Amino acid sequence: MDETFAEGLRQGWRPAAYDRALLRRPWGFPVADVPRPVRLWHGRADWQAPLPGARLLAAVMPTADLRCLPGTGHLLGFTRAPEILADLTAA
């Protein structure tokens, strides 16, 4: 993980800042119009993307199912991968 972050910052901080800025831009479509079922996974201990944001996203997406995992942070894909992947393959 450390090597990945170091490589991502090898060219300086500007590319990382640009990536962060892209996250805040409009997505180009209304999320309320997503027709497919969507499962949102959120770590309750995530301080980078607080729970109210996940709840808001789930509230505006009629097809969303929000799963809040206690004791899990922002990188829950690493710590809860088997559970998430099992859910994906069951769909």
pLDDT, tens digit (0-9, with 9 covering 90-100), for 19-45: 888 888 888 999 999 999 999 999 999
Contacts for 27-34 with beta carbons within 8 Å, 24 or more apart? 31/57, 31/60, 31/61, 32/60, 32/61, 32/62, 34/61, 34/63
Give how far the C-alpha of residue 88 lies from the chain's centroid of Cα atoms, to the nearest Å.
Answer: 15
CA 71 – CA 45 distance, rounded (Å): 6
pTM for this predicted structure: 0.75
Q: What domains are there in the chain, each with its CATH number? A: 2-27+36-90 (3.40.50)
**Eight-state DSSP code of residue 83:** H
> In this predicted structure, what is the pLDDT of residue 24?
83
